[in-house]
Structure 1
Amino acid sequence: MTLRNSLFGSIILFLLLAAGCAPKAPAPTPGPTPPPAPPAPMVPTYAPVGEKTAEELARSLSLKPQNLCSWQDLRPGIEASLNYIRTRPQDAVCVNRPGLRLTWGQLKDSVAELASTLALLDHDPSLLAQRFTWLKLEPGTLLTGYYEPWLKASLTPDATFKYPLYGVPGDLKVMDLGDFHPRWAGQKLIYRVEEGKAEPYFDRAAIDGLGALEGAGDEIAWAADPVDVFFLQVQGSGRLDLPDGSFKHILYGGKNGRQYVSIGKVLIDEGYIPKEEMSMQRIRQFLNAHPGVAEDILFRNPSYVFFRLADEGPFGSINSILTPRVSVAVDRSMIPLGSVVALKTALMDYDTGKADPFFSLVLAQDTGGAIQGTRMDLFCGAGEEAETLAGHLQEGAEVYMLLSKRVLGARSNTPQ
């Protein structure tokens, strides 16, 4: 063995021994376990229920929660829905979701058959299972409520009635973006023109805080309470209780195109109201008790609604008068306007503190900016009782669409 090889071997042996005697590096401390990824949101699906289940559901329907005496009482509302459906292009698809693809013509035939069945249902509600397929909308939905508020107002301003209610301003312009490109079909741009340039329309702070519309002559009435005005805008329509004892309906006329911001969420996020206490009544109570911050809170919602006066109302999106506890607002891409659906939930009786079961047929006759996906909004009526119900309504619900077996059978035989 040469000296070079002997030296090399000694060095290797030294390094191995040194490595064996050296203190081991501490094992790395494991970091916190990452939280599991949230489950992907469930895609809303229409799933048919079995014949036996459908019959049990049909027999458990009740008109009592709607203050109706006979199934025939639903006829005016269903006829109004049919009138709307007939205005739609009958060959166009009105809903295309997993489990259900339907044209307006097929929906018309189905709702018409249900209307012709009403006279028989008082004696045999199981006909709704024999003649109609029940499609359950999955997952379940959140049911909220809205109502027709009454507010003290006058058609002329004075020291008491000094908060204006505006009609659609003369300088508000609306552009249909679908005219420019198909990808924008159904979208509208709301704007004004200033010095030859298109500008976003005035927001709430500009209108109510800076008087942006003063002097333009767009006022149609004046209210006694600015909080009443705000809640009228949230609901979209109401009744004006006039000084001479008469009243006028005040209906939705348009909006300023700004994004809606929930002041209920603002009040929760900033610690003014605990989440578990949140209701329409609680918001009103807070705003009335804290006038110093009320204006700032209201201005957080830049969206603004304009109105028109009428002798009848309130009207839904199908231009028919809404029926308390029968008309509902829906996402029209999920449930076509004009549809008849069965709604299963519970409505709280705030006098007794008990939740009363509600399982009744309701009519999709309205829409709303916050009503998206499977969520549904029940029209609760007018007055204090309706306001209380709507203000607290946050219930889980099941929704079933009823479609004629004859129509669905014909559809399945139609080449796609």
Structure 2
Amino acid sequence: MIRWFRAAICAGLLLTGTNAVSETTYSILDFSDLEGWASDDHAAALEVFRNTCTDLNAPDWRSICAAASDFKDPQMFFELLFRPVLIADGKDGLFTGYFEPELDGARAPSARYRHPVYKMPREARQQSVWLSRRDIETTSVMQGRGLEIAWVDDPVELFFLQIQGSGRIKLPDGSFVRVGYGGANGQPYRSIGVELVRRGIYKSHQVSAQVIKNWVRRNPIDGLELLRHNDSYVFFREVSKVPAHRGPLGAMNRSITEMRSVAVDPKFTPLGAPVWVEKDGKIPLRRLMIAQDTGAAIKGAQRADIFFGTGDEAGKAAGKLKDPGRMIVLLPIQRAYAMLPEAVL
């Protein structure tokens, strides 16, 4: 599942950093070095690991996945077959959160449900850069073509659905339509939070997803214009094979799990690998999670986005998260040692 700068929202919608390139380093740790390791629910982590390990094709991963099917002691499973590896690229650790939005909508338009959730048009798929958000929303280019999956009642929530990249739409009869990322117009993402700061409306530390939503709703005309400051536009596809009670699809095309799935940068962390999270901040977290997702703003060896679940409460919790810490990747033993420089071996 691709989410367009989802984590930029959760982290205050400010993209910061440096262009300096640092060397990537690898350090093998002991499980005793993982703070809180013995107290975690390893069985819960193992169940989530099993959900995607069958998609790992390398021989060492396949052997471990086969062993996962009937291993009796979950903690021993991880300790016997993996080694903790701290991967560093010179940047501080940063944890943010993401969630699956839930919107109110209908299969047909009405006075209440006026804002369409679109499938990707053919010509947009054929071009690397297509029309801007303003063109899509204010012209007739999308009309009369049967591209609507559903209509929702809130344009602000629809905007944030596009940032998250997936979500559920609750229909009037209580059933749900789940939608996933279906493509984008190729236009550059422009941060709404940065624009509010540039205009002097808020200070950078004040900006969050909820603050943006509240401002747009208090200023409906200027608010819609503000949203159109972001030229990027995301289209969706209906994900009918995922039951409503399960999590949305992640980058591995499997349902992700609340507070056990994490989005990572696959340049550093293999998708499907267990990762030990040591998140600091007001509410510290020490937990074994599985790298099952990615995100456009998740870049770096120590950058991760924790999945908080579905709905408003999950969104509020995810939106508050911007904490330091460290992430340790659990790798098959031979693979872990193969990453060390020869001088260390």
Shorter-chain TM-score above 0.5: yes
Aligned pair partner of 2:56 in 76, 85, 94: 85
Distance 2:46 2:205 in 1: 39
Aligned pairs for 1:12-411 within 5 A: 40-49=20-29, 51=30, 54-57=31-34, 60=37, 62-63=39-40, 70-86=41-57, 90=58, 105-109=59-63, 115=68, 119-121=72-74, 125=75, 128-129=78-79, 131-138=81-88, 139-174=91-126, 190-191=127-128, 200-311=129-240, 312=242, 313-346=247-280, 355-374=282-301, 375-405=303-333, 408=336
1:141–1:396 CA contact under 8 A, matched in 2: yes
Any idea what SS the aligned residue of 1:377 has? strand
2:298–2:305 CA contact under 8 A, matched in 1: yes
2:273–2:331 CA contact under 8 A, matched in 1: no
1:42 deviates by 3.3
Distance 1:58 1:109, change over 3 A: farther
Corresponding letter in the other structure for 1:267: L
Aligned residue pairs: how many?
Answer: 316
2:36–2:286 CA contact under 8 A, matched in 1: no
Corresponding residue for residue 14 of structure 2:
none
1:397 deviates by 2.1
1:61–1:361 CA contact under 8 A, matched in 2: no
Distance 1:62 1:164, change over 3 A: farther
1:340 deviates by 1.1
1:108 deviates by 4.2
Identity %: 34
Distance 1:294 1:39, change over 3 A: closer
1:202–1:212 CA contact under 8 A, matched in 2: no
Distance 1:217 1:74, change over 3 A: same
Q: Deviations over 1:293-336 (max 9, x none)?
A: 11221112111111122342510110000101111111111212
Q: What is the RMSD of the two structures over their aligned residues, measured on CA atoms?
A: 2.7
Higher RCO (C-alpha under 8 Å, 6+ residues apart):
2
1:247 deviates by 1.6
Q: Deviations over 1:375-412 (max 9, x none)?
A: 21111101222111111111112011112335556899
Q: Which runs of 5 or more structure 2 residues have no equivalent in the other structure?
A: 1-17, 341-345
1:60 deviates by 3.2
Q: Deviations over 1:3-39 (max 9, x none)?
A: xxxxxxxxxxxxxxxxxxxxxxxxxxxxxxxxxxx99
Distance 2:338 2:26 in 1: 19
Corresponding residue for residue 13 of structure 2:
none
Corresponding letter in the other structure for 1:136: L
Distance 2:202 2:130 in 1: 31
Normalized against structure 1, the TM-score is what? Answer: 0.69
Distance 1:279 1:229 in 2: 17
Q: Deviations over 1:211-252 (max 9, x none)?
A: 421222211110111001101101111111111122221222
Distance 2:94 2:137 in 1: 33
2:28–2:336 CA contact under 8 A, matched in 1: no
Q: Deviations over 1:65-124 (max 9, x none)?
A: xxxxx53333442123212212xxx4xxxxxxxxxxxxxx444445655x3696314xxx
Corresponding letter in the other structure for 2:275: V
Corresponding letter in the other structure for 1:80: N
Distance 1:408 1:398, change over 3 A: closer
Corresponding residue for residue 11 of structure 2:
none
1:130 deviates by 5.7
1:203–1:304 CA contact under 8 A, matched in 2: yes
Corresponding letter in the other structure for 1:167: K
Distance 1:275 1:119, change over 3 A: farther
Any idea what SS the aligned residue of 1:84 has? coil
Q: Which runs of 5 or more structure 1 residues have no equivalent in the other structure?
A: 1-37, 64-69, 91-104, 175-189, 192-199, 348-354
Larger C-alpha radius of gyration, 1 or 2? 1
Any idea what SS the aligned residue of 1:47 has? strand
Distance 1:243 1:333, change over 3 A: same
Normalized against structure 2, the TM-score is what? Answer: 0.83
Distance 1:387 1:249 in 2: 17
1:81–1:339 CA contact under 8 A, matched in 2: no
Corresponding letter in the other structure for 1:143: F
